Amino acid sequence: MKKLLIGVQILILVLILTKVASVVGFIQKSDILPAATFLTSLAQAQQPPATRAPAATSAAGSAGPVATATEVPDSSLSKERDLAAALLAKKNELDNREIALRTEEQRLLDLRKEITDKIALLKSQEEKLAVVLEASQTSDVKRYKEMAKVYEATPAAKAGSMLEKLDIKTAAGITMNMKKDKAGAIWGYLTPQKAVEITKEITRSGGSRQQSE
């Protein structure tokens, strides 16, 4: 992009120098014309009257090319002005496009930062939830172990009746933290349906906590 802008600036400078050279050439031609006219008039004054008419005609004929010469620089300058205007318009277009690209780039950078910040926030919240969940699970395990001791000290028939009334998750948690012989004695006082549901819950939880010996 910078190389293109430098190239455009160099081209504009060359056009300006060309324009200056054309104007200088035109001025030089204008300076020569009065001198030539003066010499022609002097020669006519020295000639007989019969020969003055052709000289006047010759002078009049020479005026045509001079007028044409003045028109040529004007046409050239007009073309140069048009070209310079076109180059300037193209430069402005490129500048505007570069500004638009920089604006879009900044917008994307801001969007990426916003997404990164949100990801970091979600990760932080996830870590906090993991800590809370772990603490809750630890608390549940501790509570199940304490309740398991109570059920172990209770007669099997009564403990079975109590376990029958609990929700499946709590009943499974207590059973997993009881000694195997105590849990087996209570198991005989549960209804088959309740026993199946407790077994499924223990299996679903992965049986990560082994029953005490």
Q: Does one domain contain both 109 and 195?
A: no
Same domain, 36 and 98: yes
53 and 109 both lie in a single domain = yes
Verify that 12 and 114 share a domain, yes or no. yes
CA distance 26 to 70: 7
Residue 149 lies in a domain: no
Number of Cα atoms under 13 Å in the Cβ half of residue 114: 6
In the prediction, which pLDDT does 137 show? Answer: 74
- Total count of domains within the chain: 2
Q: What is the chain's Cα-based Rg?
A: 53
- pTM of the full structure: 0.39
| Cβ pair 175, 163 in contact under 8 A | yes
For residue 56, what are the domain limits?
2-122
pLDDT tens for 133-142 read: 878 778 888 8
The mean pLDDT value of the chain amounts to 76
| 71 shares a domain with 176 | no
**Domain ends where: 122, 143, 169?**
122
SS3 66: helix
74 and 174 both lie in a single domain = no
Longest dimension (CA), the chain: 161
Concatenated DSSP letters for 7-61? HHHHHHHHHHHHHHHHHHHHHHHHHHHHHHHHHHHHHHHHS-GGGHHHHHHHHHH
Tens of pLDDT, residues 34-88: 444 544 554 454 455 544 444 444 444 444 444 444 455 678 888 888 888 899 9
Decide if 145 is inside a domain.
Answer: no
210 pLDDT exceeds 80? no
